[in-house]
Structure 1
Amino acid sequence: MNKAFVKESDNDDDDDLAPEAAPLPPGTKNYITTQGYARLRAELEQLMNEERPSVVQVVSWAASNGDRSENGDYLYGKKRLREIDRRIRFLTKRLELAEVVDPSLQPNKDQVFFGATVLYSDKAGEEFRVTIVGVDESEPLQGRISWISPVARALTKAREGDTVTLRTPAGVDELDILDVHYPESGGQGGA
């Protein structure tokens, strides 16, 4: 089929897509827990040492089959290779910028800082348990929130028994700090 009728181009601008994690505020460091760093490092190594070579082999095999314009293995493989390469570049940059913090070494264990697991309740009395982690390792649905999130910023420097104010688009909420916990050694908390 003539390329004029296909919405594909020879130049792939997929690399211009948005980053895969929230950008850091200007002038801040990319804090990350030891476990978060290890997970990102393992993902990078898996992509570089296993997945990318496997896809390259498939693309090479598919290219040797002749006509590439209608070769699904070749087209999908090239697309997947671009995705892998984009993720490798992203992970490499984030790991280079990472400032690894071991929350178990926090000297003020009664105060909320990076790496703390905090149990708090809102005005309605509903309890929440969150662990404050780096941007690249946050998973809010699993209770791991980024240190730059509004909740984490409201909780930072508070102590057990304190009440802090959280301003959201829905209004102002009061959060009562019920418990502050840090991992014993190199852990990530109870979230």
Structure 2
Amino acid sequence: MANDAPEGERPKAPHYITAAGMKKLRDELDHLWKVERPRVTSEVSAAAALGDRSENAEYIYGKRRLREIDKRLEFLAKRIESLTVFHPPARAPDKVTFGAWVTLEDEDGNVVHYQLVGPDEFDVEAGKISVASPVARALLGKEVDDEATVQRPRGSVTFTITAISYQPPRP
């Protein structure tokens, strides 16, 4: 069996992100690089011009903030490079996959909508759950009318999948 990975290593699976999630990361990188960093650099220069830097709180804080910005810029650049943008299929999906919006109904008739996203973009309040979460793992590969049971600290809950889409549900 052919394998490009060195012996004893498993090939790395792609790390997916939605197009909206990638845009958000790139916008943050752009803002930090073009707005935040120049502003803080200017503040540090102005504070340095005041003289003694050892007791200059503005200078010390500014230098610390620059280091934080630089670390975040480095992280974002590497992270963006390592991610693969997921493009939804042209036709409606038959099964729950990454990027899908899934409408679920629990045993009490409560309806919830979740989108399965990568770890860089999950936001439970917005209905975006990590594909690695217990709920998402229980849903992956399922079809409409399938049931998915999720173990929670308060006990298990069973959901019925009522819809799968790549468009957000309408309110």
TM-score bin, normalised by smaller chain: 0.7 to 0.9
Distance 1:133 1:107 in 2: 19
Query: What does residue 23 of structure 1 align with?
Result: none
Q: Partner of 1:174: helix, strand, or coil?
A: strand
Distance 1:127 1:97 in 2: 35
Query: What does residue 39 of structure 2 align with?
Result: 54
Query: 8 Å contact 1:30–1:135 — kept in the other structure?
Result: no
Query: 8 Å contact 1:132–1:144 — kept in the other structure?
Result: yes
Query: What does residue 41 of structure 1 align with?
Result: 26
1:94 aligns with 2:53: no
Q: Aligned-residue CA RMSD in angstroms?
A: 1.8
TM-score normalized by the length of structure 2: 0.85
Q: Partner of 2:29: helix, strand, or coil?
A: helix
Supply the AA of the counterpart residue of 1:71: N
Query: What does residue 19 of structure 1 align with?
Result: none
Query: 8 Å contact 1:131–1:190 — kept in the other structure?
Result: no
Distance 1:131 1:190 in 2: 10
Query: What does residue 143 of structure 1 align with?
Result: 127
Q: Please list every run of at least 4 consecutive aligned residues from structure 1 whose deviation after the TM superposition is greater than 4 angstroms.
A: none
Query: What does residue 30 of structure 1 align with?
Result: 15
Q: CA deviation at 1:128?
A: 1.0
Matched positions, count? 160
Supply the AA of the counterpart residue of 1:133: V
1:159 aligns with 2:143: yes
Distance 1:172 1:41 in 2: 38
Q: Which runs of 5+ in 2 are unaligned?
A: 1-10
Distance 2:152 2:79 in 1: 29
TM-score normalized by the length of structure 1: 0.77
Q: Which runs of 5+ in 1 are unaligned?
A: 1-25, 184-188
